Each structure stands twice: as C-alpha cells, then as structure tokens.
Structure 1
Amino acid sequence: MLERWVGEAASQDHDAKAASIVVSACRWAVEEVADVDDDVDLWRSDYDPDRLAPLLAPAVERPLQGVSQWATGTRDFFEKDWRWVNFVAARGGYEVPVLLPRVYTTWGWAGYGDRGLTPLDTSALLRRWHERWGAELFFADGSYLELAVDRPPLDPRGAAQAAAELRAYCHDTVDDAVKTGDTMARSTVWSLWWD
C-alpha cells in the first residue's frame, strides 16, 4: 500500500489537488461555519486570491524573517522538550506525509469533520509549495508542522494565493487570511498547528 501511495503522490496533479482543497475548504466555510448574519462574500475572499490580493499590503522588497515556533523549543508543549531527527529516503519533504503518515496529524483535525485531509492531499500541497515558493518541510511532530520557505511570494497576488492555500490547509493557524497574506505568507518560515 505504501508503494502505491508514493506512486500516487509522485504522479498526482498537485496544482489541481491544491485547487480542489481550497474550493472544498471555501465550500465548507460558507455552508457549515458562516452564520446567517455573516457576510458570505467576506468568507469567500479568504479563499479567492483575486478578492484577497487587493486587501493586502503592497509588495515588499525582501522576504520577512521567519521565526520557528515549534522546532526551537520556544513552546513548552512537552514536559521535556525532546526532538527526534528522522532521515527519510524521499524525493522531497512533500513525500513525508505519505512515507510517515503518523509523524504529524493534520487530516481529520481542525473541525473539518468528514472533509479531513489525507496524506496524499498534504503531499500535493507541500509539493506545490515546494515547486512554487521553495518551501521545504523541516519540522513535523504531532499537530505541529513547519516549512522553511526559500522564495516566499512578495507581491500581493502571490501572497494572497499562498494565504488562501494555507487557510484551506490549516484554518486553526490561519484564522485571518489578510494578516497571513501580509506576514507569514511573505516570510521564510511557515508555522502551522492544528487544534
């Protein structure tokens, strides 16, 4: 089964899968979370880069300096802050969710109910982010995940695209798409956490 998943992860259209995850998260937010009094268009703008980009700050010249939230031991979420190093034979960090599906647990969390993400979904997003922005998985533990981002988007449109995808993937961390588009999406570290 593992060989089949790795093959699927390598051959799947990660851009199409990422778009599907964003659409699914938007639909879930509008249909399941939004109250009757909520402005549904505001919810949609969280997931639509064309609507989100005009709300963001202008382009920045250099990436914002990212700071690890989880891998540095700055958060005491264990009595003893132990860290394990795993060496995984993979084409990239984007295969880790398929090769070690229990290293971190995003799917089924975050209140998505039956819309839980699979290791293949996570692999598709990580691969897309790797190819588009140079994002590389460097820390995963339980419900914590961090990426080092070599070429984060600096312009509003790119930052809006990243923020929409980050929100669709992890709304526990990304509860404000505008703030994320102006900060984390343009930084060298993306720190995610699922409740």
Structure 2
Amino acid sequence: MSPDDVARASLHDGVDAAALESLMAEVVCQDHDARAASVVVSSFRWSMECVGGDEEDREGWRDDYDPDRLAPQLGPELVEPLSGVSRWGSGNRDIRGWGSRWLNFVPARGGYEVPVVLPHLIGTGNWFGYGDRMLTPADDAALLRRWQEQWGAELFLAQGAYLELVVDRPPLDPRAAAQAATELLGYCSDTVQDPRTAGDGMLRSTVWSLWWD
C-alpha cells in the first residue's frame, strides 16, 4: 500500500482513536494462546460438520487437527531449519499486477498488532478461512503473537489475501511441527490443505507464505 492508502486503512469505520486504543489494550491483554486454540477448535468443528456421517473422513480430520495423532505421521527431527523462500515478498512473482511496493513503518509493539492498527490492510478487515467462517483482527493478533513467542515468527508482508512471516526458530521436531501445522490448518486451510506436507516442509522452514482463496 502507498502511504495514502495506509492512512485510509488505519482506523476502523466509525471508531475514534480512543476507542481504537481501548481495542488495542484488549488485544494486548487477551489470552492469546487460548484464543488461538479456539480458532483451531472452531475450524475443526466446521470440518466435522461438513464430512457428515463418513467415519473414515472424520478420523482423517481428527488426525489433521490433533498434534499427538499427526506427529507420528511426520518425518524425523531436523538438525537445522529448511531454507525458506519468499513467495510473495521477493518480487519473483507478480501478485495481481503489483508493481512497485511501499515499505511502511507501523507504530506497534509487534507485528501481531498490525491487523488491529490497520484492519483494512488485508481484504476487508477480516481474513477468511473455511467457508463462511470469519476471523476478527483480534483472532489474527492472537495467532500472530503466539507464533512470534513460540517460533520467532515475524510479520514480513501483508497485502490483500497474502501474508508472509519470517521465522527465526521454526519447529524442527515432529511434535512441534505437528502443533504448528494444526494451528496453520485452522487459520488458513487454503494454504495448509495437507498438514503432513506442510509439517515436513514449509513449517520447518524460515519463511511461511500464506494466502486465502
């Protein structure tokens, strides 16, 4: 976004600066681990409702969303992270006609606050997951903060339906990779359609590239 576009995206419609600061305080003080877990549970319940009475499919979804069941299906622990490749922010791929890009500085305690400070930066202010399930900026902030604390994931690029994180300490052992895979599946199933592939690949690398269809 250009600086002018960022300025237009910086406040919630009809919310003044004081109200926005109050929302920010709520986001900072929330139990981000619990909120992140609730996003995963919500996604799992939606998936179970969709598969109906097919028990084999239901067992498959349980494997996908339960780190303890998923971990034995992943590869062994890595000695060092895989070398991540930026998919959206490197300039190697033209995203819907993007040309020059702006580098914007956002006043925030961490990248996890950006979805709250700039609620219109990504889509219409909500990031979409499964079907009609919508995530709020507070949900985004909770997950981003959890990933920052757990694995050193820092917000690198956010625009429209695209998000990219640079990860300092990606999970290398199967259990941690499985935990990350279930959380990313709950957050962005358009990218993490197969948590086994993601758990052995992208999530053990230094760059996580996400997109919403």
Matches within 5 A, 1:53-72: 53-72=71-90
**Partner secondary structure for residue 40 of structure 1:** helix
Q: Write out the 4+ residue segments of structure 1 that deviate beyond 4 Å after TM superposition.
A: none
Measure how far apart 1:80 and its partner are.
Answer: 4.3
**TM-score where L is the length of structure 1:** 0.94
- Larger CA deviation: 158-167 vs 103-112: 103-112
| Structure whose alpha-carbon radius of gyration is higher | 2
Matches within 5 A, 1:29-108: 29-32=47-50, 34=51, 36-37=53-54, 38-105=56-123, 107=126
Letter in 1 for 2:68: D
Gaps of 5+ in 1: none
The CA distance in 2 between the partners of 1:183 and 1:80, in whole Å, is: 27
Partner of residue 109, structure 1: 128
Measure how far apart 1:110 and its partner are.
Answer: 3.5
Gaps of 5+ in 2: 1-18
- Larger CA deviation: 130-139 vs 34-43: 34-43
Letter in 1 for 2:80: R
Residues paired across the two proteins, number: 193
**Partner secondary structure for residue 153 of structure 1:** coil
RMSD of aligned Cα (Å): 1.4
Matches within 5 A, 1:165-184: 165-184=183-202
Instruction: Please state if 1:123 is matched with 2:145.
Output: no
Partner of residue 26, structure 1: 44
The CA distance in 2 between the partners of 1:188 and 1:125, in whole Å, is: 17
The CA distance in 2 between the partners of 1:110 and 1:89, in whole Å, is: 27
Percent of residue pairs bearing the same amino acid type: 60
**TM-score where L is the length of structure 2:** 0.86
- Map Cα deviations across residues 140-181 of structure 1 (whole Å, 9 max, x no partner): 010000000000010000000000000100000110010010
**Partner secondary structure for residue 116 of structure 2:** helix
**Partner secondary structure for residue 42 of structure 1:** helix
